[in-house]
Structure formats: C-alpha cells, structure tokens
Structure 1
Amino acid sequence: MHNQQGFTLTELMIVIAIIAILSAIGLPAYQNYLQKAAITDMLQLMMPYKTAIELCAMERGSVQNCNAETYGIPAEKGSRYSEKVTISNGQITLTGLETLKGLSVQLFPHWDAKKGDLQWYKKCQSENRLLLNNCQNQFRFSDQQEQL
C-alpha cells in the first residue's frame, strides 16, 4: 500500500480561513495599541513645554508671551508621530503624523493670579472616532472650558 503524505486542499483552506478570522479579530486591536503608543509619544513630547510654561507663568504672573524660545521654553520641534509642537502665549498645539494623521491636540493654560495656580485644559480634534477616544483617554486633562 502506498501511504498518502501532505495535506488535502480542504485542510489547507480550513487553516487559511482560521488565520483570516484571527487576523480580522487581532488587527483592530493591534491598530488601537499602535495609536495609544503614538499618543503616549505625543504626550511625552509635550511635557517639557508644559513644565517650562508653568515656570514662565509663575515667574511672570501670566502666560502672556510665554512662547517657544523665550523664558526657558524650548524651541518648537516634532517627533515621529508629531509634525510640530507650536507654543503661543502658553497654549500648546500638537499635530499628528503617521498613525496619528488627522489628530490635533491643544492644551490651554488657565492662570489663576489670586491662587498662583495654573490649570490645563485639553481639546482633541479628529474625524477618526477611535483616534479621538484614544486621545481623550491618554491626555488626562480637563476638557476645554468655553470661557477660556
């Protein structure tokens, strides 16, 4: 008798179908993970600017004229996932690249002169709902107030 070796066409098609189903389930989760990692990179890029703006506001008593390359605030730059950080009167704006294309994050400082306190508010903007939700969850600042 001659023994058959290898797999039948049906067995191979079943394996391919299983791989396709697992990929369909895993790919969105992986994309979500990549977005969260990229947003964390954006958050890390923003932190030195935030700290410098806080120091500028405490020294000057206001966030007016707390701009890039003044009062110890670093020069505007980008990263792998952020096109550029822009600073204007203490307001930080980040624009996403690659995985974060279409995402814009703005951080607004609110200086309370009586308390000598600086509060931060965020505004995430994106047409992509998943990207917007990830931004809202990663940037743990209060949402922008209308009176600011």
Structure 2
Amino acid sequence: MKKARMGIRRVQKGFTLIELMIVVAIIGILAAIAIPQYSDYTSRTKAAGAVAELASVKTGIAMCVQETGTLNGCDAGAANGYVPTPAVTKNVTVVTSIKNGVITVTTGATDTSGTNLLLVDTPTAPAAGAANMTWTTTGTVCNVNRGLKPGQGDCP
C-alpha cells in the first residue's frame, strides 16, 4: 500500500520563477509607455483648465470695451472695476499681467523639462456693429503635445 502512494505524482502549486519574471517584464513595459502619456494628459488638462478659469476675465474685458469703447485702461484692478483679477490655482499658477485687455499668465501645464507654459490672450476689439470680441492665444501653452492643440483655447 505504501508503494502505491509513493507513485502518485504531486500536483505543482504556484508559479515558476520564469513565469513571474515574464509578468514583471510586461508590467514594466506597460508602465514605461503609460507614465509619459499620463503626464502629457494631465498637462493638457491643466492648460485647458487655465483657459476656462480666465473666462470671467475675458467677460470683464469685453464689458470694459463695450462701455469705454477702447481696450486702453481695461486692466485688472483698474478703477472702472470691470476686469477681475483671477485667483491663483493649480491651473493658473502666476498672473503676470492684465494690461489693456491682454492677459498674460503662467499655467500649471508643463513642457517635458518641467517648465510651466505661458499663456498670452490678446483681444481684438469688435468692428463697428459687430457683437463679438475675438481672442488669440499665443505663448508656449499652444504646445501640441503638452498644451493646447491648434483650434483649442483660441490657439492658431
């Protein structure tokens, strides 16, 4: 009877070392691809968030132009009170200036070296009889990979 039991083969339990090493290698390859893509995604999200947070400032500048007829004097904190100063957030990290309608801010979006991207919004006063003011966004925030793509946020 003992001899019959010794002949029974034991079932393997667990994984071999080579199988575990293959799984670790696959996870490493996926992480090497996913982490840079995720960084690009979060940077683009911060750039879009900065544009959205500046909407109230753009509205104030448009009201200032409507009332005064000129972009001159449409500054943040001006006595006319039209243009609000935006709050510093994770999307708008530094408000450099809002002078004569031109908005210059540093965004939370970064390039591949970690430098924050600059957003410059320049208004064009509406022509006589026109209803809408047009905006052009320039600066390093118009970066295809880590910022806004052409056509987004008024980037050319």
Q: Same fold (TM over 0.5)?
A: yes
Q: CA RMSD in A?
A: 2.4
Deviation at 1:76, TM superposition (A): 4.2
Q: 1:39 is matched with which residue: 35, 42, 47?
A: 47
Q: 2:87 is matched with which residue: 61, 77, 80?
A: 77
* Unaligned runs of at least 5 residues, structure 2: 1-8
Deviation at 1:104, TM superposition (A): 0.2
Identical amino acids, percent of aligned pairs: 30
Report whether the alignment pairs 1:111 with 2:125. yes
Report whether the alignment pairs 1:48 with 2:62. no
The worse-fitting range, judged by mean Cα deviation, of 134-143 and 91-100 is: 134-143
Contact 2:118–2:139 (8 Å) recurs in 1: yes
* Unaligned runs of at least 5 residues, structure 1: 144-148
Aligned residue in 1 for 2:65: 57
Across the two proteins, how many residue pairs are aligned to each other? 140
Contact 1:40–1:138 (8 Å) recurs in 2: no
Contact 2:103–2:120 (8 Å) recurs in 1: yes
Question: Match of 1:106, as an amino acid?
Answer: V
SS in 1 for 2:88: coil
Aligned residue in 2 for 1:29: 37
Contact 1:105–1:124 (8 Å) recurs in 2: yes
Distance 1:141 1:91 in 2: 14
Report whether the alignment pairs 1:97 with 2:98. no
Distance 2:126 2:77 in 1: 24
- In terms of Rg, which structure is larger? 2
